[in-house]
Amino acid sequence: MPELPEVEVTRRALRPLVEGRRILAIEHADPERYRGTELAHGRRVETLGRRGKFLLFGLEGGWELIVHLGMTGGFRLAPTPHTRAVFRLEDGALYYHDPRRLGRIWGVPAGDYRQVPLLLRMGPEPFDPGFSPAYLHARLRATRRPVKAVLLDQEVVAGIGNIYGDEALFRAGVRPTRRGYRVRRREAEGIVEAVRRVLKEAIAAGGSTLKDQSYRRPDGAIGYFQVRLSVYGRAGEPCPVCGTPIRRVRIQGRSAHYCPRCQR
């Protein structure tokens, strides 16, 4: 957490609050995690975009502010006990909240991502035409990695994490442990369709707020997609389709949840 839906929901909530407004200052006490933030001082925010799990503040004068929320980061409209940075705007403030201090902020020349090389290598966005069944099938055929690990690889497709990887593979009927080279073309089509459908539904639901409550929207409201999760976090519970207990396994150090009957 947060994954693409949570970052996109945050972007949509912040956009009317920041676009066209000037950042007077960004206040923090951690120059190691939040680098080059002074480059944003006095500059107007022209655009607020997203790439994968990164927020991209496009600033006047050819500068950019990159924000990665880490596992527990997010923006709030009021200060919290875990406020790590304050964005002072012309007519208010935004508070960067991050209990575990895993998020990062970089001020850079626009498009200069040498400090964040993943942005240079990142794969297509899930809703872009480049993330096609033919593309995914080709990437899968070239590897023996489990299909879940391939979906989490940001160089293959941007923004997917544990939650939505599990949910998409459940809907596609593909077991997360299946080796990539064994996924057929029609199954790759099903995975692409399921990824897009799950992400779209999650964005519409405001993202997923899990038991730790680490993700909330900027206004403090929770997301609601967690009530629609079929397999993620439900190990031992019955599959919503067939009733078989959901299993949890580890794949390359990450958890994966699936139904042994519905997912081949």
CATH number for position 214: 1.10.8.50
The reply to whether 115 and 223 lie within a common domain is no
Q: How far apart are CA 228 and CA 202, in angstroms?
A: 9
Beta-carbon count within 10 A of 213 CB: 10
Q: Is 211 an annotated catalytic residue?
A: no
Q: Are residues 104 and 176 in the same domain?
A: no
pLDDT of residue 38: 98
Residue 263 domain flag: no
pLDDT at 125 over 80: yes
Structural domain includes residue 187:
yes
The answer to whether the CB of 71 falls within 8 A of the CB of 53 is: no
The catalytic residue among 3, 6, 8, 64 is: 3
Residue with tokens 């200052």: 25
Tell me, yes or no, whether 108 and 196 share the same domain: no
60 is catalytic: no
Quick one: pLDDT at residue 214?
85
pTM higher than 0.75: yes
Domain finish residue from 65, 97, 121: 121
The verdict on residue 102 lying in a domain is yes
Query: What is the average pLDDT value for the chain, to the nearest integer?
Result: 97
Cα 208 to Cα 1: distance, rounded to the nearest angstrom = 9
Residue from 11, 53, 175, 234 carrying the catalytic annotation: 53
User: What is the pLDDT at residue 55?
Assistant: 98
Q: Is 80 exposed, middle or buried (0-12, 13-18, 19+ CB in 10 A)?
A: middle
Report the number of distinct structural domains present in the chain. 2
* Chain centroid offset of residue 158 CA: 8
**127 inside domain:** no
Pair 88, 47 in one domain: yes
E strands present in the chain: 22-28, 34-35, 43-51, 54-59, 63-68, 74-76, 83-89, 92-97, 104-109, 247-251, 254-258
Instruction: Report the alpha-carbon angle 175-250-241, nearest 5.
Output: 35
User: What would the mean pLDDT of 74-86 be, rounded to a whole number?
Assistant: 97
**The domain boundary residue, chosen from 121, 148, 166:** 121
What would the mean pLDDT of 42-50 be, rounded to a whole number?
98
Is there a domain that residue 128 lies in? no
Give me the residues paired with residue 86 across strands.
27, 95
Same domain, 154 and 249: yes
Active site residue 2: yes
Percent of the chain with pLDDT over 70: 100
What dihedral angle (degrees, nearest 10) is formed by the CA atoms of 212, 218, 224, 225?
-90
Choosing from 93, 121, 149, the residue where a domain stops is: 121
* Known active-site residue 129: no
For residue 103, being part of any structural domain is answered with yes
Specify whether 88 is located in the same domain as 141: no
pLDDT of 202-233, one tens digit each? 999 999 999 888 899 999 999 999 999 999 99
| Residue span of the structural domain in which 12 resides | 4-121
